[in-house]
Amino acid sequence: MSPSELKQLIRTVPDFPGPGVQFRDITTLIGHAEGFAASVRQLAACAHDAGAQAIAGMEARGFIFGAAVAAQLDLGFVPVRKPGKLPVASIGIDYALEYGSDRLEMDPGAVDAGQRVVIVDDLIATGGTALAAAQLLRRAGASVEHALFVIDLPDLGGARKLRDAGVAVQALMQFEGD
């Protein structure tokens, strides 16, 4: 399926989670067998071209696409978790959100020093979570130079933040506005 055909599978929910927000809902894409498989194949091709040695994804929707891409490429998957979810000693990073803050954690033994890890997630908006994940993975010793997304919301500037931090960004589709 082409990127424009995949884009047609994304449901837009107006005024969620608040007034004026156009929520881009990927559940309609992942529920469409052909569309989901095509999006995973396209992301996997990009990850392969980036020289990925492992794939990382952020909880929760990054697990869906990231793990599928890792399986497609016969690579390991590195889960970047919400706080308190790991049963082993972890490292973490606090980061700012539009209204407040959050934290990501990971097992520092999940990556090898210098391992090329490609981040995969469903959507990039303001970029706070993806940038924090890149910083956390780098702190663990990974080389993070690429991040892949199903959707980019370019007006929110997240891709630009990642590029400014030395992370190349690719997305299967874009939606203008927020």
Which residues are known to be catalytic? 61, 98
The string of DSSP letters for 14-47 reads: ET-SSTT-EEEETHHHHTSHHHHHHHHHHHHHHH
Per-residue H/E/C for 69-134: HHHHHCCEEEEEECCCCCCCCCEEEEEEECCEEEEEEECHHHCCCCCEEEEEEEEECCCHHHHHHH
Q: State both tokens at 34.
A: 């052909």
Residues 6 or more apart from 10 whose CB is under 8 A from it? Answer: 24, 25, 26, 28, 29, 151, 173, 175
The 8-class DSSP code of residue 159 comes to H
Dihedral pair phi/psi, residue 2, rounded to 5°: -80, 160
Q: Please, what sign has the CA dihedral across residues 26, 116, 54, 89?
A: negative
